Amino acid sequence: MKNYFAIKTDCNYYLLHQGETCLLNTINETVYLIINYFNQYNNLCIDDILNDYRFINIPRKIILDNLAVVERYEKSGIISNNIKECSSRFNANSCVTEHDVKRLMADISEITFEVTQRCNLNCKYCGYGDFYCKYDKRVGADLSFNYAKNIIDYIFRFKKDLYPQKKNGPFNFSFYGGEPLLNIELIREIVNYCEATYPQVEFTYSMTTNGTLLQKYSEFIVNNDIKISVSLDGDQFNNSYRVYKNDRESFQDIINNVKFFQENHPHFYERKINFISVLHNRNSIIEIEKFFLTKFNKIPVVSELSTNGILPSKVKSFKNLFKNVADSYHKYYNCPNTKLSVEILNTTPEIVSFHSLIGMNTGHCINNFSDILVKPNKLPTTGTCLPFQKSIFLTVNGKLMPCESIGNEFVYGNVTNNDVDVDFLQVANEFNDRLLLIKKQCYSCYLLENCQECVYMIINSDKKCRNHMDYEQFKIYVTDLLVEIENINHINNKN
């Protein structure tokens, strides 16, 4: 395998090196040509280069000066055609251990509760709706307070047992549904219990809601400083898939509720009210940003419809609704007289991927404390979160799962009215076994160190990674990233 890429865009020439660290440098055209010659013939013989058609019109001195630069690159290992497969950059026998999982559990700082399965809307693309099959049967069940209490006590007891001298940091409880405000009493119980039982802990609260009941429970929300993420897909037409059970549109109710906070709790609104928009065939990035900036002076998080667990009989209908986020961004910043806001610019797939490609690969970027709990040579391939690395999701049925975004068959443990059952060795072994299913794909992939794929999503499809890249595919990928970033910069400077 090779560890370098000579890249040409309309604006620049670049050299990308991927190894223990990542290097991205602008280079001149002659260096670019010499590196491509080395890539093709695996030699830097001056006589051969001078006789190659690419160098006919370049003065000898310029060729010699730039050849010296490339030779230094080769001697220092920045360019090499003889690197072992990507697995050489990882411990071939690396795995997550029982002890790793316990340490991650002791450092966990968030629990997400599936407060209820009930919902007052009937959104056409709902992740628990007609398109999907990888979830437990929805029977309108509510989460038991005993389940919630037991997992809370278990985690804080576990923290104290493993790290008796460590002071507890901030801890967040996230409320999810269904529509969580349909079970407001449980949320009250959880908040009151935690504040009374663990006064030394700084608790924060967040909630994902459809927004239809916000005003009704505004006093409780404001008094407890709950961070709110409102699901809203744009203007009335953009949001028209989000309807009540009787097909009445929810748009105006949500607008009225958000306006109530704007007018009556403006400070809370500015700090704590945010939006989530799902991209589909009735909206676009341009429409979404224009609506939210005009109406609320906010930028939403934009996400795609989940492609995980689609029923075979619904694939065609799903494809009619689905819209790719990256494609929609491209249309946005290629639209004449359009200027990207800084906020939405920072969420574009190109910027996120570029940050990961450069920032993470330098070895100097740490996103959270749990990133250093497990040594780098033990980190797994793929973008899969380690067990308990970020959060834990408790379903109404008492299942402890990695998060709310994957199928209900991937369980880390169970909670009952009397106990919490987590077998840490089993969690570690099952996690490692799942990675083994796709390990060979990873070791031949040039995107390995920049991987964003979740193994649980891959397993739920055909066990083939949709983003596996060979040398040429990765080179095209990086070239496209650089071109898009240059285009974004050009458009914003022009405007």
| CATH code of residue 146 | 3.20.20.70
Same-domain pairing of 217 and 111: yes
Rounded to whole angstroms, what are the CA distances from 184 to 142, 156, 216?
11, 24, 11
Q: Summarize the confidence of residues 346-353 as an average pLDDT.
A: 55
Q: How confident is the model at residue 87 (pLDDT cuts 50, 70, 90)?
A: very low
Confidence at residue 363, expressed as pLDDT on a 0 to 100 scale: 46
Query: Which residues, in sequence order, are CB contacts of 174 under 8 Å at separation 6+?
Result: 110, 111, 112, 113, 205, 206, 207, 208, 391
Would 438 be classed as within a structural domain?
no
> How far apart (Å, rounded) are the C-alpha atoms in residues 490 and 476?
21
**Residue 341 vs residue 78, higher pLDDT:** 78
Mean pLDDT (the chain) is 86
Would 281 be classed as within a structural domain?
yes
Phi/psi of residue 102, each to 5°?
Answer: -65, -40
Same-domain pairing of 16 and 44: yes
SS3 track for 367-403 = CCHHHHCCCHHHCCCCCCCCCCCCCEEECCCCEEECC
Query: Residue 413 pairs with which residues in a beta bridge?
Result: 400
Residue 54 identity: R
Same-domain pairing of 203 and 329: yes
Would 325 be classed as within a structural domain?
yes
Q: Summarize the confidence of residues 237-242 as an average pLDDT.
A: 98
Instruction: Give 189-220 pLDDT, tens digit per residue.
Output: 999 999 999 999 999 999 999 999 999 999 99
Q: How confident is the model at residue 39 (pLDDT cuts 50, 70, 90)?
A: very high
Same-domain pairing of 74 and 162: no
Same-domain pairing of 49 and 166: no
Which of 427, 445, 477 is the last residue in one of the domains? Answer: 427
Q: Which domain holds residue 12?
A: 4-83
Q: How far is CA 173 from the centre of its chain?
A: 20
Query: Which residues, in sequence order, are CB contacts of 90 under 8 Å at separation 6+?
Result: 377, 379, 381
Does residue 222 carry a pLDDT above 60?
Answer: yes
Confidence at residue 337, expressed as pLDDT on a 0 to 100 scale: 52
Structural domain count, the chain: 2
Residue spans of beta strands (DSSP E) within 258-324: 273-278, 301-303
Does residue 368 carry a pLDDT above 60?
Answer: no
> How far apart (Å, rounded) are the C-alpha atoms in residues 46 and 60?
10
Same-domain pairing of 30 and 158: no
Confidence at residue 355, expressed as pLDDT on a 0 to 100 scale: 55
Same-domain pairing of 370 and 406: yes
Which of 52, 83, 114 is the last residue in one of the domains? Answer: 83
Same-domain pairing of 23 and 116: no
> How far apart (Å, rounded) are the C-alpha atoms in residues 262 and 296?
9
Q: How far is CA 342 from the centre of its chain?
A: 19
Question: Whole-prediction pTM value?
Answer: 0.81
Where is mean pLDDT largest: 159-163, 221-225, 328-332, 435-439? 221-225
Q: How confident is the model at residue 371 (pLDDT cuts 50, 70, 90)?
A: very low
> How far apart (Å, rounded) are the C-alpha atoms in residues 111 and 131?
27
SS3 track for 316-375 = HHHHHHCCCHHHHHHHHHCCCCCCCCHHHHCCCHHHHHHHHHHHHHHCCCCCCHHHHCCC
Would 408 be classed as within a structural domain?
yes
Same-domain pairing of 130 and 219: yes
